[in-house]
Chains A and B, each alone.
Chain A
């Protein structure tokens, strides 16, 4: 009887979760589908399309004809890779050092880090600091202000503290210095937590646009999300991209609606970062809880 109840419960839960998952997938499906239709199909099918009948990449062709989208994608990739690598480096260093209980001044240092989680300088003071460090109009303005993530430091610190002290002692006995200890023993053991944190940081960098809006007057380093935001607010996006190059052609088969262009932009801005998840999947769930559980 218990087994039967259990099975019914599992079946109902699974049905609900699958239903919710499918519901959540509808907006993404809409975005993908709309990005693959031309204006002809958009008119004929009344505008809300979940499955294109005549898929075409015309929207993507139009977006990549100019240099703006590619330039923005390049800027975003540079920012994300550089930013993630540096944040992970600095965060790991800080967490490792702070995990040493015999570190002089450990408590005040931890306090200063904790305080930044609760209190920030605000937009204008931060802008003034970035400006006075001569970082404006540079990719470093997007990376350095967030170089040490306080929450990640705390998670990683906890993780390092959970590693048995005997491991360290035996490594020291074998002649390992601090750098070897950290690079050859501690970091490999912390790989799951670092993978999870790296993913959060990477996604955060990929999705950021407000800092670029404030710190970059020159559009050279504008990330893709800022470009998407600007294009979404443009009333001319349809006219621009249906009048590119030789496409003065007026047939709706060779034209693309503003809605399709916008959805194609959404996919361009989303897909690259989504491809990162499968590679880090095995570390992700493990790393999520590693730093939180003691013992």
Chain B
């Protein structure tokens, strides 16, 4: 009897183990894991049309990167409009490369990749897993092609072949914002030179500009996050070009070798020595700085027009802070100075996988999709703003501007990840004022005004982004610079000439020579 019992138990145990192993071999996934091999899921497709549907997957760096719901109106709109089975994979920038490389290495690539990082595309291009030349595709994308300049196309071209479809660049709307009410209270003019700026910063710190009887203000701040100087680095523009390697006097140059960087460091050092800069400027993060900035402790900031909306929202939206900020051009510290840093040559790129390119029907559908969702076509408004896809509407304002309120956007309130349908197509050319308010208000109109002013201020040309430089050398040189500049500002290092030599030895000299060579090849230097 005991033996029978033992045998029964052994059989039961063996059966359980086999069942567990069987279950482990069968996932509830789709096995292939790609849009290519999965069955179309569009429930709206007519039985005859479902066989024509093309699976298209887009992988991108998203704004939000959280899941969307099952009844996704944006996917449904895309699927129905373009007869596709569209899959959006949105990831943080730090994770995109790992995911992308895994998918390509396992022969299950996404069809379209949208990224801001050209190096990622170059990496894939060198492996031969991307469409070699997208120029024929560009001809089918008049909405994108028409907004591209030669520099943007050059940026996306390697060895005579366009490696990805560039997205048209965005005009920058960040500039120097100054508290004009403080200027008025102290009888000061808008600073136009570096010396005037220094004077304003000093007075903002010492002369109680908010007239509250307390010494609780600083002229300026930054948000370095403990790893860099933060956005105050943009003030190098006072003294000249500072964005990477550029051309000056018909030769390749860099702010470290032209003296722009030193002049800027001396400026910030003075702020630190005189304690006219917020003491946490180097260590605090962007969000951590906000209580001071919008708590009326900081007089000058590098910000876009949204500074008004953020300030108002943190001060109970009573309208008291709508008109306290003014957008001003970068003060001039030299003949070549007074510039903002350059805008990017492109605003991201769409790379097409070689797998997708081999299928003419899929490639054609991709072209239709990209053209259809690009500004100013209907698909743009549908994906970016939910017009026609999720019941949203635009209100027309003056001068071609439009107003969009988040107040009625129920789906994206519940599933903020749906905003990522707009990440890969968004552009400020749409002139949309986005607001949480029900109707356009003074805050929104002021934000528009400041942004438009900023876009009109002088920017330096963008030479650096045309170059193909060794990323390792660039990184090493940047590291050396970051380490030195905070020490210099705090007085722990004083020998700038020695730093220049170190910078050159770390790779700066080789990069300068390479930049010179490439500029000559592009006929930018004679």
Residue numbers of A with Cβ under 8 A of B are 39, 42-48, 65-68, 71, 86, 123-124, 127-128, 131, 133-138, 140-141, 144, 147, 175, 177, 179, 210, 213-214, 217-220, 222, 227, 229-231, 233-236, 238-240, 242-245, 248, 250-252, 255, 257-259
Contact = CB atoms under 8 A, between A and B. Distances in A.
B314 A43 contact: yes
Contact of B416 (A47, A236, A252, A255): A236
B413 A252 contact: no
Contacts of A252: 313-316
A124 B102 contact: yes
Contact of A131 (B13, B33, B406): B33
B288 interface: yes
B335 interface: no
B89 interface: yes
Contacts of A238: 287
A147 B25 CA distance: 13
B295 interface: yes
Contacts of B93: 233
B24 to A, nearest CB: 5
Interface string B77-93: 00000000001010111
Contact of A248 (B9, B98, B436): B436
Contacts of B290: 43, 47, 257
B291 interface: yes
Interface string B44-63: 00000000000000000001
Contacts of B108: 131
B2 interface: yes
B106 A131 contact: yes
A230 B65 contact: yes
Residue in A136, A179, A229, A257 with the greatest tally of chain B CB atoms within 10 Å: A136
Contacts of A127: 102, 105-106
Contact of B106 (A45, A124, A141): A124
Interface of B: 2, 6, 9-10, 13, 20, 23-34, 63-67, 69, 87, 89, 91-95, 98-99, 102, 105-106, 108, 284, 287-292, 294-295, 313-317, 406-407, 413-417, 419, 436-438
A267 to B, nearest CB: 17
Contacts of B436: 239, 242-243, 248, 250
A227 B64 CA distance: 10
Contacts of A134: 25-27, 29, 31
Residue in A45, A217, A242, A248 with the greatest tally of chain B CB atoms within 10 Å: A217
Given A48-B288, A217-B33, A136 B27 contact: yes
A66 B414 contact: yes
7 contacts: A47-B288, A210-B98, A213-B95, A217-B34, A233-B92, A250-B317, A251-B316
A124 B419 CA distance: 31
A274 to B, nearest CB: 25
B66 A231 contact: yes
B65 A233 contact: yes
A250 B288 contact: no
Given A46-B292, A47-B288, A133-B27, A235 B66 contact: no
A236 B64 contact: yes
A92 to B, nearest CB: 13
Contacts of B20: 86
Given A138-B29, A230-B92, A252-B313, 10 more contacts: A39-B314, A47-B288, A68-B417, A86-B20, A124-B102, A131-B106, A134-B29, A217-B33, A230-B66, A244-B414
Contact of A137 (B6, B33, B406): B33
Contacts of A177: 6, 9-10
A65 B95 CA distance: 27
A133 B33 CA distance: 12
Contacts of A124: 102, 105-106
B98 A240 contact: no
A87 B105 CA distance: 29
A259 B99 contact: no
B102 A214 contact: yes
A225 to B, nearest CB: 12
Contacts of A47: 284, 288-292
A234 B64 contact: yes
A43 B34 CA distance: 46
B10 A179 contact: yes
Contacts of A175: 2
Contacts of A251: 316-317
Contacts of B69: 67
A58 to B, nearest CB: 15
B27 A43 contact: no
Contacts of A141: 27, 29
A147 B102 CA distance: 22
Contacts of A235: 63
B25 A236 contact: no
A148 B6 CA distance: 27
A222 B33 CA distance: 15
Contact of A68 (B31, B66, B94, B407): B66
B26 to A, nearest CB: 7
A94 B314 CA distance: 60
B27 A135 contact: yes
Nearest to B297: A46
Contact of B29 (A39, A71, A137, A210): A137
A123 B289 CA distance: 39
B25 A133 contact: yes
A42 B94 contact: no
A230 B33 CA distance: 21
A234 B65 contact: yes
A240 B415 CA distance: 9
